Amino acid sequence: AQKITQTQPGMFVQEKEAVTLDCTYDTSDQSYGLFWYKQPSSGEMIFLIYQGSYDEQNATEGRYSLNFQKARKSANLVISASQLGDSAMYFCAMREAGGSQGNLIFGKGTKLSVKP
């Protein structure tokens, strides 16, 4: 079973509007961390936001917020006031405290296109 599922291969949003990118995860660990990365066409992975499984508040970083619903095992990324520069691939990732590798497990990504 996939550990990280991103069901939206591609999304379109109008400039200045908000958009939600979906991410669900599968783990039996109680302690884990969730990450979102942005990958523009240049290829570099850019860290956006982090949510710990024990964090009671949803994480926010500027225009990015993470809608964390632990019972549903979902960690959706919300981008407010979209900008043309937000057009990129977005990857959700998870790190489990009990993971044998201690590394990030990535979803397949969602391609976001912001329309002017």
Q: How many residues bind other proteins (CB under 8 A)?
A: 28
Can you tell me the distance from the alpha carbon of 55 to that of 57, in angstroms, rounded to the nearest whole number? 6
Contact call for residue 57 and other proteins (CB under 8 A): no
CB 24 within 8 A of CB 72: yes
Amino acid identity of 6?
Answer: Q
Can you tell me the distance from the alpha carbon of 90 to that of 10, in angstroms, rounded to the nearest whole number? 10
Q: Which of 13, 19, 68, 107 binds other proteins (CB under 8 A)?
A: 107
Nearer to other proteins, 14 or 30 (CB): 30
Q: Which of 28, 41, 57, 101 binds other proteins (CB under 8 A)?
A: 101
Contact call for residue 90 and other proteins (CB under 8 A): no
Q: Which H or E run contains 10?
A: strand 10-14
Q: Which of 28, 41, 57, 100 binds other proteins (CB under 8 A)?
A: 100
Nearer to other proteins, 25 or 35 (CB): 35
Nearer to other proteins, 38 or 76 (CB): 38
CB 78 within 8 A of CB 20: yes
Nearer to other proteins, 14 or 103 (CB): 103
CB 65 within 8 A of CB 78: yes
